[in-house]
Structure 1
Amino acid sequence: MTTDSPDILLILTDQHRLSAVGAYGPTPCQTPHIDRLAAEGVRFQTAYTTCPVCSPARGSVLTGLYPHSHGICSNAHNLGSSVHEAPDSPDLLSRRLQDRGYACGYTGKWHLGNGQSEAFSARTDPALPSTRGFQGQDFPGHGGGGFNYPDYRAYLETGGFMHEVKPWSESVRQVLPTGELIGPTESTVPHFLADHTISLINRLSTQGSPYFVWHNFWGPHGPYFSPTEFVDLYRDIEIPPWPNYDWPSRETPGPHHVKIHPDQESLTWDEWATAIRYYYAFTTLIDRQIGRIVEHLRQSDRLDRTIIIFAADHGETAGSHGGLTDKGWQHFEEIQRIPCIVRFPDGRFAGQVREGLVSLADLYPTILDLAGGQSPDRIHGRSLLPLIDEPSTSWRDHLVVEFSGVNNLSATLRTLVKGDLKYGFSAGHDDQLYDLASDPYELVNVATEPSRREQLEDARQMLSDWMADHHDPVRGIFNRTRLP
């Protein structure tokens, strides 16, 4: 560590699709504080999660590995996950940063273990932030929005607040878990979390060492709850249908059937649009709290020594592709693409965009690189600093997203992205191939078109080679079923 080692703040949102980030293109969703980070930093145009499920993706941030290597292949304590409590290791991001003299702080959603010593009758080493090198909050499990943890309940009581959702009063059906909160913004979980990070920064900044703070929101993952102030922003805002909303989800075979809304055939777009308004309201509430944290850094003279990274674990369907819900079970951009922004304190690269393919696994080596540390040889991510410094640097020309199931159901999906081509392997189902240049909303699977045969075979071989390089155990069955 040197005396000029920067402080590092990682802000991670949960289930945040790109249509809910203004910096990524025209949208009704208002995110002025995230947009300002993009205007003052570097925005990565084509960033992808490692897995469109919460625990596996977060495990990639902590380890720099794909889920098939770190073992949290589904949500922790779900059937389908090989590991249920994130194992401690000198190679965890927090442990490596501690070796560099960093104090590590944690706020919000964890979802890398329940803090339990047993899972499916096997002994485990309980994993919580405090047992994995962090100071701060310990919230075991998923948290379901964070509403029922004792710390939040105590915060409500101290402030004289309540967490209560108004009865549904919209003129349409309630398509997804949505609602209007009775209390003020100060009563919400995002505000509570921002308060904690502000106080954590204050405490860590007095310890005489640089700090890394990982701030995790429970949103805009559902349920989409916001105070009236934010719901009102969208009441009269038109929400245009997703360009792929009319995709024939029922008539198209594939694992996505698990996530088709059960009432899709009777739902109208107005009903979906109402749910999306609540999703956007929740996002704007979160954006406001990001602004509070950044403004605190500015007012406390810490912003000029803090590198801020903003990203999400994965995206959200919200009715796209014929009424799909949640995440997982398909190869589509709305769940795989994520926002990714890096803001430097000295204004370097402000407002610039990088087009190279970026993986969520890249956050681990990037953060270590920023801290002056080194990553283990075996990790899967790459530091983004060379790409930031020089857009024309030699960079990966393809990447992979994996999925092994969620909600106690299992599946095997691998998605390969190279340039404008996306190849999707789903075990037990036909292959998918999309030309993202001519079909950005992935409406037409061209895998069976004769003119695409060579591209399909090349993509299969490239995925097999990637599996070999990354020691993906799926490679054996993939090769037997997809290669000559």
Structure 2
Amino acid sequence: MFIYRAVPFLLGIFLCSIHPSQSKDLQVNKKPNVIIIYTDDQGTLDLNIYGAKDLYTPNMDNLAKKGVRFTQFYTAAPVCSPSRASLLSGRYPQRAGLVTNASSDNGGKSEMSGSQITIAETFQSAGYKTGHIGKWHVGYNPSSMPNQQGFDYSYGHMGGCIDNYSHYFYWHGPNRHDLWRNGEEVWEDGSYFPDRMVEEIEGFLESNQSDPFFLYWALNIPHYPLQGQEKWRNYYNDLPSPRKEYAALISTMDEKIGLVMEKLVELGLEENTIIVFQSDHGHSEEERTFFGGGYAGVYRGAKFSLFEGGIRIPAIISWPGKIPQNEVREQLSVNVDWFPTLLELCNIPKGDHKIDGKSMVEIIRSPTAPSPHDTFFWQCLGGNDPQWAVREGDWKLIHNPVGNHLSESEKTPDKLYLYNISTDPGESENKVKQYPDLVQNLQNQYKVWIDEVTMN
């Protein structure tokens, strides 16, 4: 009995004798924590550090200054649900089983199946505490909601978007309330959802600060409704509409991200936490966002489009002291690549199931490492004539691009458009007639790819 009781006493003496610097070393030697910040409808260049000089985004910019910023980073789909499915599964949306938006109806059948192996399940199996905060939009049935997809804790809305104060679904109504905690509906009338997300994240971090954690923060902004906070509406009051409404929400979001970063510092977690940041796709030009507001610079297109403005997105990874800081990477990379990249950084086996993502660890470490992808493919269903694209090296072939991004004089009978992204990032010079063999080769590759991902 004496020996048993003495163990805690002696352990206490040992812990008290540890120098503060040694204690910090013990903390750093833990498995790294991971936070993925996934924004909603944020334009290609809509951070100050990416070139939007009319925006105030110090906290997002600071993430880039503390890490690696990508300039040719893509999402696997230009619309919400397939983008999220590809992030969570590390797969093309076709292989993940969600090629269009998931249902925003409670009980709706369009979803990413619970049989998919998600990044959260993989981290959970490796002993991580896993959390989802914010937007879900990949399934609204018990079998496809967050707690059945690898998340120990979940708080947020299951459909495509909500009013930030009433938490009702924004597209249709009335009487479609959408706010959930761990599969149970919760009512928080009048509370500003971005503030609630920050509070939930702070609670998650406090509860799990002694354990490795994986947190998926799927922000519902700057997606409409454009309900930026008053201080930011006033700040941008001199900008034209709809830029000022959109900008107010961007800076509201930036402020909330800053609060979470402050909490990491307060808890002593910053140096052992990998932060990934990206938008789900390009900015919206829908009526609900006043037909614009986002900024893509030279890049043509927006949300729903496979032109660069729809799929080329801001993306950053930060891990103080472990990866380069304030550096830029130009290699082509895609959101499916976070799955194997984060597993490699955290020394977690990725398993033997098929994923399409490829590790970016080498390009994160070196600006001269080759892109992990020789070729990448996209397809968005559109009836009998879907929009699709192939990127191989500097060349990109698009079929049947959607949206009002082509003039009548540019349109072709075969709906094929070939661009050299290196020399023509704005996709303004269609090279189909000059390179027929290349066009045929890319078409053939697409046909092989779509058959393969549809069957598997």
TM over 0.5: yes
| CA distance in structure 1 between the partners assigned to 2:70 and 2:84 by the alignment | 19
1:440 corresponding residue in structure 2: 425
| Correspondence 1:142 to 2:186 | no
Q: Give 1:229 deviation, angstroms.
A: 1.0
2:396 corresponding residue in structure 1: 422
1:215 corresponding residue in structure 2: 217
| CA distance in structure 1 between the partners assigned to 2:346 and 2:420 by the alignment | 39
**Which one of 244, 251, 268 corresponds to residue 284 of structure 1?**
251
**Which one of 399, 414, 418 corresponds to residue 376 of structure 2?**
399
| CA distance in structure 1 between the partners assigned to 2:116 and 2:334 by the alignment | 23
**Which one of 366, 378, 399 corresponds to residue 390 of structure 1?**
366
Q: Do 2:102 and 2:110's aligned partners in 1 also have CA atoms closer than 8 Å?
A: yes
Q: Give 1:230 deviation, angstroms.
A: 0.8
Extract unaligned runs of 5+ from structure 2. Answer: 1-27, 169-177, 286-291, 402-412
**Shift in CA distance, 359/83, structure 1 to aligned 2, threshold 3 Å:** farther
- What secondary structure, in the 3-state scheme, does the structure 2 residue paired with 1:391 have? coil
| CA distance in structure 1 between the partners assigned to 2:237 and 2:319 by the alignment | 36
| CA distance in structure 2 between the partners assigned to 1:216 and 1:78 by the alignment | 16
- What secondary structure, in the 3-state scheme, does the structure 2 residue paired with 1:282 have? helix
**Shift in CA distance, 348/370, structure 1 to aligned 2, threshold 3 Å:** closer
Deviations 1:344-365 (A, max 9, x none): 1326300111111111111111
Q: Do 1:145 and 1:218's aligned partners in 2 also have CA atoms closer than 8 Å?
A: no
| Correspondence 1:203 to 2:207 | yes
| Correspondence 1:76 to 2:107 | no
Q: Do 1:145 and 1:219's aligned partners in 2 also have CA atoms closer than 8 Å?
A: no
| CA distance in structure 2 between the partners assigned to 1:214 and 1:465 by the alignment | 33
Deviations 1:11-65 (A, max 9, x none): 1001111221222224312211111100110111101110111111111111111
| Correspondence 1:133 to 2:150 | yes
Larger CA deviation: 366-375 vs 305-314 = 366-375
| CA distance in structure 2 between the partners assigned to 1:278 and 1:143 by the alignment | 17
**Shift in CA distance, 440/36, structure 1 to aligned 2, threshold 3 Å:** same
Q: Do 2:69 and 2:326's aligned partners in 1 also have CA atoms closer than 8 Å?
A: yes
Aligned residues: 388
One-letter amino acid of the counterpart of residue 380, structure 2: F
Q: Do 1:19 and 1:27's aligned partners in 2 also have CA atoms closer than 8 Å?
A: no
| CA distance in structure 2 between the partners assigned to 1:190 and 1:325 by the alignment | 28
Deviations 1:379-414 (A, max 9, x none): 000111122123333432332222125xxx785222
| CA distance in structure 2 between the partners assigned to 1:443 and 1:194 by the alignment | 42
Q: Do 1:400 and 1:417's aligned partners in 2 also have CA atoms closer than 8 Å?
A: yes
One-letter amino acid of the counterpart of residue 188, structure 1: Y
Q: Give 1:10 deviation, angstroms.
A: 0.7
Q: Do 1:40 and 1:347's aligned partners in 2 also have CA atoms closer than 8 Å?
A: no
| CA distance in structure 2 between the partners assigned to 1:217 and 1:45 by the alignment | 22
Highest relative contact order (Cα 8 Å, sep 6+), 1 or 2? 1
Q: Do 1:73 and 1:83's aligned partners in 2 also have CA atoms closer than 8 Å?
A: no
| CA distance in structure 1 between the partners assigned to 2:384 and 2:104 by the alignment | 10
| CA distance in structure 1 between the partners assigned to 2:199 and 2:209 by the alignment | 15
2:173 corresponding residue in structure 1: none
| CA distance in structure 2 between the partners assigned to 1:290 and 1:236 by the alignment | 25
| CA distance in structure 2 between the partners assigned to 1:368 and 1:274 by the alignment | 43
1:57 corresponding residue in structure 2: 83
1:413 corresponding residue in structure 2: 387
Extract unaligned runs of 5+ from structure 1. Answer: 117-125, 163-186, 238-272, 476-484
1:236 corresponding residue in structure 2: 238
| Correspondence 1:22 to 2:48 | yes
Q: Give 1:367 deviation, angstroms.
A: 2.0
One-letter amino acid of the counterpart of residue 393, structure 1: A
2:271 corresponding residue in structure 1: 304
Q: Do 1:403 and 1:411's aligned partners in 2 also have CA atoms closer than 8 Å?
A: no
Q: Do 2:104 and 2:160's aligned partners in 1 also have CA atoms closer than 8 Å?
A: no
| CA distance in structure 2 between the partners assigned to 1:26 and 1:141 by the alignment | 30
| CA distance in structure 2 between the partners assigned to 1:129 and 1:222 by the alignment | 23
| CA distance in structure 2 between the partners assigned to 1:376 and 1:347 by the alignment | 25
One-letter amino acid of the counterpart of residue 373, structure 1: I
Larger CA deviation: 135-144 vs 51-60 = 135-144
| Correspondence 1:11 to 2:37 | yes
One-letter amino acid of the counterpart of residue 305, structure 1: N
Deviations 1:413-467 (A, max 9, x none): 22122343221023995111123344332234332x3x23233234324434544
Q: Do 1:128 and 1:138's aligned partners in 2 also have CA atoms closer than 8 Å?
A: no
**Which one of 367, 376, 384 corresponds to residue 342 of structure 2?**
367
| CA distance in structure 1 between the partners assigned to 2:384 and 2:132 by the alignment | 31
1:88 corresponding residue in structure 2: 114
| CA distance in structure 2 between the partners assigned to 1:369 and 1:83 by the alignment | 34
| CA distance in structure 1 between the partners assigned to 2:109 and 2:366 by the alignment | 38
Deviations 1:212-235 (A, max 9, x none): 011011111112111221112222
**Shift in CA distance, 211/27, structure 1 to aligned 2, threshold 3 Å:** same
1:379 corresponding residue in structure 2: 355
| CA distance in structure 1 between the partners assigned to 2:253 and 2:437 by the alignment | 45
TM-score using structure 2 length: 0.77
2:442 corresponding residue in structure 1: 459
Deviations 1:82-102 (A, max 9, x none): 972332347321121112111
- TM-align CA RMSD: 3.0
**Which one of 326, 334, 358 corresponds to residue 309 of structure 2?**
334
| CA distance in structure 1 between the partners assigned to 2:219 and 2:179 by the alignment | 17
Deviations 1:92-150 (A, max 9, x none): 2112111211110110100011125xxxxxxxxx3211222211315322243552345
| CA distance in structure 1 between the partners assigned to 2:163 and 2:345 by the alignment | 31
| Correspondence 1:472 to 2:423 | no
| CA distance in structure 2 between the partners assigned to 1:71 and 1:215 by the alignment | 22
| Correspondence 1:191 to 2:195 | yes
One-letter amino acid of the counterpart of residue 129, structure 1: P
- What secondary structure, in the 3-state scheme, does the structure 1 residue paired with 2:398 have? strand
One-letter amino acid of the counterpart of residue 208, structure 2: L
